[in-house]
């Protein structure tokens, strides 16, 4: 979490800074409350950068977990990586790499893609 948070924070911050100041002025003119500004201006403004950050964070998180398992676990995918590398079992190593790719792709495909499509349904081509 400590390695992933700065990336998600920076992308979220960039999304907030990219919000059109005209929208914020309009909200002020119409006396929109904090929750209305959050729901109708800020959240839709940060969704694209937030989903990009979460997609990258998923891949990075998987790599971090596997690396931690390589360094200190007695079981798991990282341990299998380490064992196949030690035994010079290249086909098995590539098999574990494919497993990691499917885990990352599965998380993005099953979790983030439908969520992104639902949240960004108002945008064309989302």
Task: Write down the pLDDT at residue 6.
Answer: 92
Query: Long-range contacts: 35-39, Cβ < 8 Å, 24+?
Result: none
- Predicted confidence (pLDDT) per residue in 20-30, tens digit: 999 999 999 99
Task: Write down the pLDDT at residue 3.
Answer: 86
Residue 59 CB-half CA count within 13 A: 11
pTM beyond 0.75, yes or no: no
Tokens at residue 72, please?
Answer: 């200190």
Pick the more confident residue, 21 or 73. 21
Packed helices 77-86 and 43-72: angle between N→C axes, nearest 10 degrees: 50
Residue 68 has pLDDT above 60, yes or no: yes
Q: Could you state, in order of their start, the residue ranges of all structural domains in the chain? A: 5-119
Residue 123 has pLDDT above 80, yes or no: no
Residue 51 has a CB neighbour count (10 Å cut-off) of 20
Rg (CA), the chain: 20
């Amino acid at each position: 979490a400590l390695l992933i948070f700065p990336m998600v924070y920076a992308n979220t911050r960039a999304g907030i800074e990219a919000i059109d100041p005209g929208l914020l002025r309009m909200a002020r003119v119409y006396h929109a409350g904090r929750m209305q500004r959050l729901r109708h201006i800020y959240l839709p403004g940060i969704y694209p950068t937030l989903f990009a950050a979460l997609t990258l964070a998923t891949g990075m998180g998987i790599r971090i977990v596997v690396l931690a398992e390589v360094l200190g676990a007695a079981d798991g995918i990282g341990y299998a990586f380490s064992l196949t590398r030690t035994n010079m079992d290249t086909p098995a190593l590539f098999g574990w790499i494919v497993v990691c790719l499917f885990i990352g792709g599965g998380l993005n495909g099953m979790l983030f893609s439908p969520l992104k499509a639902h949240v960004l349904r108002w945008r064309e081509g989302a």
